[in-house]
């Protein structure tokens, strides 16, 4: 088993402060699947529940969150008391067979020790028909991040940590999914400002824990100087939504 993750219990307070639910992300997820008010949805690796809550409010479906970090879950539970949050690893889902209509995972797959087993578990808990969506970044998308400009070493670290899109497609097909389709999406550009700087200063992105302290401080210094120079840091993040269906 690989250990790809960071101590989310430790960073949960910072995470919740600097990463909020993303309406564009939720909009893309909603657009890929037909749901009814009776549909049951599972957010694997839900973190502090921001997207879980937004998805529940936007679709009026019953959404459950699952995560391995007690710290992240306790933040989720305070803000979304009406939703169910379960502590469990993604590769041993504590649910029966065929109970969900839609399962999604946003920015989680690179943390998982066993991606094929997690995919097999998602397949098992889905009803037929059912949909699964893995939201991640392709290797070229990783190289295009703003963080890659200041912390060059994060590119190779994350390209090694993130399964490639073809690899995910193969796993999905092997575990029984059909109509597997990666869809690239570019989020609307945002101007990175003090929130971004604060996130980096708090090492709020997991890849910043995977480079040396020396490289981290060099990159942070460069970022601080760039911000002081008033150069505009406009960034449009590219993501890949890998859709797969149980038919
Ligand atoms: C980058 S955060 C993403 C959180 C949320 N999905 C979002 O988009 O804001 C990754 C989350 O995956 C969770 N995680 C990591 N490994 C996991 C595993 N094996 N099983 C379940 N959750 C896991 C972490 O605890 C963390 O909350």
User: Ligand 1 mean position to 45 CA, how many Å?
Assistant: 4
**pLDDT per residue over 129-171, tens digit each?**
999 999 999 999 999 999 999 999 999 999 999 999 999 999 9
User: Ligand 1 mean position to 79 CA, how many Å?
Assistant: 17
Domain CATH number, residue 42: 3.40.50.150
- Decide if 49 contacts 26 (C-beta within 8 A): no
Beta strands 238-246 and 233-235 are unpaired
Instruction: Report whether residue 204 contacts ligand 1, using a CB cutoff of 6 Å.
Output: no
| pLDDT reported for residue 195 | 87
Q: Which of 111, 115, 158 to mutate to test the pocket of ligand 1 (most atoms within 8 A of CB)?
A: 111
Residue 218 resides in a domain: no
d(CA 119, CA 33): 18
Please give the share of the chain, as a percent, with pLDDT higher than 90: 86
Q: How many CB atoms lie within 10 A of CB 158?
A: 23
- Decide if 157 contacts 207 (C-beta within 8 A): yes
Residues making up the chain, counted from first to last: 247
**pLDDT at residue 14 above 70?**
no
Residue 215 resides in a domain: no
Residue 103 resides in a domain: yes
Residue 151 resides in a domain: yes
User: Ligand 1 mean position to 190 CA, how many Å?
Assistant: 24
Residue 197 resides in a domain: no
Number of domains the chain contains: 1
Residue 214 resides in a domain: no
Residue 202 resides in a domain: no
Look up the domain containing 182 and give its range: 8-190+237-246
What six digits make up the tokens of 102? 């839609």
Residue 53 resides in a domain: yes
Stated pTM of the model: 0.91
């Amino acid at each position: 088993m690989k250990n790809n993750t960071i101590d989310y219990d430790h960073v949960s307070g910072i995470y919740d402060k600097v990463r909020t639910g993303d309406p564009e992300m939720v909009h893309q997820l909603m657009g890929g699947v037909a749901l009814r008010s009776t549909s049951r949805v599972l957010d694997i690796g839900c973190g502090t529940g921001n997207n879980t809550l937004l998805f529940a409010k936007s679709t009026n479906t019953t959404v459950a969150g699952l995560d391995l970090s007690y710290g992240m879950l306790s933040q989720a539970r305070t803000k979304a008391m009406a939703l169910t949050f379960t502590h469990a690893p993604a590769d041993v889902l504590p649910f029966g067979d065929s109970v969900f209509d839609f399962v999604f995972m946003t920015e989680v797959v690179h943390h998982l020790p066993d991606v094929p087993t997690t995919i097999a578990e998602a397949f098992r808990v889905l009803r037929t028909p059912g949909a699964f969506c893995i939201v991640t970044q392709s290797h070229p998308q990783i190289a295009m991040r703003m963080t890659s400009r200041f912390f060059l070493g994060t590119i190779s670290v994350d390209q090694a940590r993130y399964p490639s899109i073809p690899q995910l497609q193969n796993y999905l097909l092997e575990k029984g999914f059909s109509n597997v389709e990666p869809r690239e999406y570019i989020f609307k550009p945002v101007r990175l400002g003090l929130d971004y700087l604060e996130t980096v200063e708090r090492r709020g992105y997991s890849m910043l824990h995977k480079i040396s302290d020396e490289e981290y401080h060099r990159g942070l210094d460069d970022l601080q100087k760039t911000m002081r120079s008033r150069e505009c840091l406009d960034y449009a993040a590219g993501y890949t939504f890998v859709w797969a269906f149980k038919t």
